């Protein structure tokens, strides 16, 4: 669920409540692994009395910066959530750790499936993501020239390439399907076979669907919520994701959408608008 637009929405919704606040304490609930391999006692000492200076995002990671150069690095994976609440509020469902703030509020991290992590990073180790993540798709560094170079000679399906965080940071299954549909590209097309025009179109589509996702405060299918516990509305704007399974009509040509597996992930496609590789070009309606 939490892809770039969702993580960005969480970031924006947390800033008013967290920036300039100091952490007065931290409570671990039932799952020590939520902070990674670090001992909780050591973790608690390190975050104690730290003041939050800023909250940033890189790909699907959230970076909470402290006043001494250290910080927290958060990944929500499939079902993680971060939200604020009054300190006296009861633990939320699947809550694993709570941070107590100097204004009577708190920050809770919950995760049904326990894949998500909220790890401490010392000042000298604040860039563990560089080298592992590709460019931010909503910045000027993500261009068709860049993507063309990255995909050259690659034989893997384009869907797998879009989901590879080393090539583009932050795109997940939902926005990948939406972008491929908009650009009329079949997800199994070998990445290196895409024309320059298709690559340029794909770059535009990725930027468009991500911006739309942010404007609509994220896509909520089941568990995603922002830092205030509010659901997003972008699910109402999706054209194909989730519709293939029910065979709903393509919003462009009306043919029934289908699902297939590409890059190891369920993909929702219109086989007329997104012709399979080696098939004839679809008739332009």
Partner DNA sequence: TGTTATGTTGCCAT
Partner DNA sequence: TATGGCAACATAAC
Strand 80-86 to 258-262 pairing: unpaired
Comparison of 89 and 113: residue with beta carbon closer to DNA? 113
Of 57, 58, 209, the closest CA to residue 133 belongs to 58
Size of the site for DNA (CB under 7 A): 37
Of 97-105, 141-149, 213-221, 277-285: span binding DNA (CB under 7 A): 213-221
Secondary structure of residue 71 in the 3-state scheme = strand
| Annotation says 8 is catalytic | no
Q: Is 60 annotated as catalytic?
A: yes
DSSP-derived 3-state class of residue 43: helix
SS3 245: coil
258 binds DNA (CB under 7 A): no
Among 50, 57, 58, 60, binds DNA (CB under 7 A): 60
Residues in the chain: 285
> What is the token pair recorded at 266?
């369920």
Which CB, 23 or 62, lies closer to DNA?
62
**Catalytic residue of the set 126, 239, 265, 272:** 265
H or E element in which residue 202 lies: helix 196-215
Is 153 considered catalytic here? Answer: no
Q: Alpha-carbon Rg of the chain, whole angstroms?
A: 20
Q: Is 239 in the site for DNA (CB under 7 A)?
A: no
Give yes or no for residue 237 binding DNA (CB under 7 A).
Answer: no
**Residue 56 in the binding site for DNA (CB under 7 A):** no
Burial of 282 (0-12, 13-18, 19+ CB in 10 A): middle
Which residues belong to the active site?
Answer: 2-3, 60, 265
Contact residues for DNA, defined by CB under 7 A? 1-3, 59-60, 75, 77-79, 112-115, 132, 154-157, 160, 163, 165, 172-174, 191, 219-224, 245, 259, 263-266
């Amino acid at each position: 669920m939490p892809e770039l637009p969702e993580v960005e929405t969480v970031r924006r919704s947390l800033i008013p409540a967290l920036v300039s606040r100091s952490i007065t304490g931290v409570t671990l609930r039932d799952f020590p692994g939520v902070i990674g391999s670090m001992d909780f006692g050591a973790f608690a000492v390190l975050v104690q009395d730290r003041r939050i200076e800023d909250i940033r995002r890189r790909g699907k990671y959230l970076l909470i910066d402290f006043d001494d150069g250290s910080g927290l690095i958060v990944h929500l994976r499939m079902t993680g959530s971060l939200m604020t609440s009054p300190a006296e509020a009861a633990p939320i469902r699947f809550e694993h750790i709570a941070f107590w703030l100097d204004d009577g509020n708190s920050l809770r991290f919950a995760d049904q499936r326990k894949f998500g992590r909220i790890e401490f990073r010392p000042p000298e180790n604040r860039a563990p993501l560089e080298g592992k993540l590709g460019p931010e798709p909503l910045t000027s560094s993500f261009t068709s020239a860049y993507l063309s170079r990255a995909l050259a000679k690659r034989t893997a399906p384009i869907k797998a390439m879009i989901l590879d965080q080393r090539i583009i940071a932050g795109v997940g299954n939902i926005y990948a399907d939406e972008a491929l549909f908009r650009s009329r590209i079949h997800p199994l097309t070998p990445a290196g076979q895409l024309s320059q025009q298709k690559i340029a179109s794909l770059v535009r589509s990725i930027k468009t669907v991500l911006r739309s996702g942010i404007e609509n405060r994220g896509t909520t299918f089941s568990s995603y919520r922002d830092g205030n516990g509010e659901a997003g509305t972008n699910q109402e704007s999706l054209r194909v994701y989730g519709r293939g399974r029910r065979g709903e009509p393509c919003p462009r040509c009306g043919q029934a959408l289908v699902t297939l597996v590409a890059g190891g992930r369920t993909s929702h496609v219109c086989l007329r608008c997104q012709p399979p590789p080696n098939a004839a070009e679809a008739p332009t309606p």
